[in-house]
Amino acid sequence: MLGITCFFHNTYLKIFISLLFTLSLLGADPVRIMPLGDSITKGLIKPEDPINQSGYRGPLWSKLLDGGYNFDLVGSFSSGENYDPSFDSDHQGKNGRTTAELNDRIDTYLDTEDPQIILLHIGTNDIGKPEYSLTSSTNNVKSIVDKIYAHDPSIKILLARIINRQDYDPDTTAFNDSVAAMASDHIADIDIVDMEDDAGIDYTIDMSDLEHPNDSGYTKMADLWYLSLQSYVNMEDEIIVDNRDSGFNTSGSWSESGAPDEYAGSSLY
């Protein structure tokens, strides 16, 4: 019974995002997509070169653009200015960000950027710290999710099982399992995107250091983000009647903050 319920909930989510993208193709306001997380969202590659930090965002932007979608990557930071072709480099990823820090700031980001879709990849900086607690980190992610829905219940979250490390760390897999179990409470609204295993990252050749992908690794992340979004678009033959108010809103407008990126002191990931 749970499997059937999850199927219909996930199908509802896919149709909802399909409507967002369909309306964008028909000339409605751009769909506001926020890449949210830490330096992996920012696009850090070692050795560090800020103007080349497009991460998965550059290739994802190219794929969405080639698909003909009208969208706006939003966030108060910008990095990756050297990506070719030039792209909308806005994002909400910061070096060193932990789940606790993001939980403290998420309300401000939501108020400022008003996203419709969030690509959330967070947790790398929690794991390995002396004070790391699986329960606390999972609860932080739950609080982030709850705050997002309190801001706007119609926001759609694509929540990543975060990538592992160059040297496999079982704590990362345990964190991913815990977060995925937590997210099952919001199964109607959250889609789990398995970056750890399904992106096809070869941790022996697709990493620039212990925690961060190189260009090939980020491209594989972009492919999976895009596939996750595409899976919603290709649902035109399936229609579900749902008695809930979708909360759909096409009143968004372009917002290019141009705010400078931030660095977290000596924290590099």
Transcribe 58-92 into DSSP letters: HHHHHHHHHTT--EEE--SEE--TT-SS----EEE
Q: What is the pTM of this model?
A: 0.77
Q: Which amino acid does the sequence have at 49?
A: D
Number of folded domains in the chain? 1
Residue 44: predicted pLDDT? 84
Is residue 238 included in any domain, yes or no? Answer: no
Residue 269: predicted pLDDT? 34
Is residue 145 included in any domain, yes or no? Answer: yes
How far, in Å, CA of 108 to CA of 6, rounded? Answer: 31
Residue 247: predicted pLDDT? 28
Is residue 262 included in any domain, yes or no? Answer: no
* 3-state SS string for 208-251: CCCCCECHHHHHHHHHHHHHHHHHHHCCCCCCCCCCCCCCCCCC
Residue 232: predicted pLDDT? 54
Is residue 17 included in any domain, yes or no? Answer: yes
The residue with tokens 């972009």 is: 222
Residue 123: predicted pLDDT? 98
Residue 6: predicted pLDDT? 47
| Closest to 156 measured CA to CA, from 148, 168, 164 | 148
| Closest to 60 measured CA to CA, from 207, 251, 194, 229 | 229
Structure token pair of residue 172: 């990362």
Tell me the CATH number at 120: 3.40.50.1110
Residue 60: predicted pLDDT? 94
The SS3 call for residue 93 is strand
Residue 49: predicted pLDDT? 65
The residue with tokens 């950027």 is: 113
Is residue 258 included in any domain, yes or no? Answer: no
24 near 31, Cβ under 8 Å? yes
Residue 27: predicted pLDDT? 52
How far, in Å, CA of 219 to CA of 214, rounded? Answer: 9
| Closest to 37 measured CA to CA, from 160, 146, 132, 207 | 160
How far, in Å, CA of 166 to CA of 7, rounded? Answer: 34
Q: Which amino acid does the sequence have at 15?
A: I
Residue 171 sits in which domain range? 2-233
Q: Give the model confidence (pLDDT) of 206-227 as tens digits.
A: 999 999 999 999 999 999 999 9
Is residue 263 included in any domain, yes or no? Answer: no
Is residue 170 included in any domain, yes or no? Answer: yes
Q: Which amino acid does the sequence have at 81?
A: E
Residues 6+ apart with CB under 8 A from 22: 233
Residue 171: predicted pLDDT? 97
Is residue 265 included in any domain, yes or no? Answer: no
Give per-10-residue mean pLDDT for the chain (269 aa): 47 51 58 95 77 84 89 87 76 95 98 96 96 98 96 95 96 98 80 97 95 94 93 37 26 30 32
The SS3 call for residue 264 is coil
Alpha helices, DSSP H, located in the chain: 2-25, 39-42, 57-66, 99-113, 134-151, 170-183, 215-233
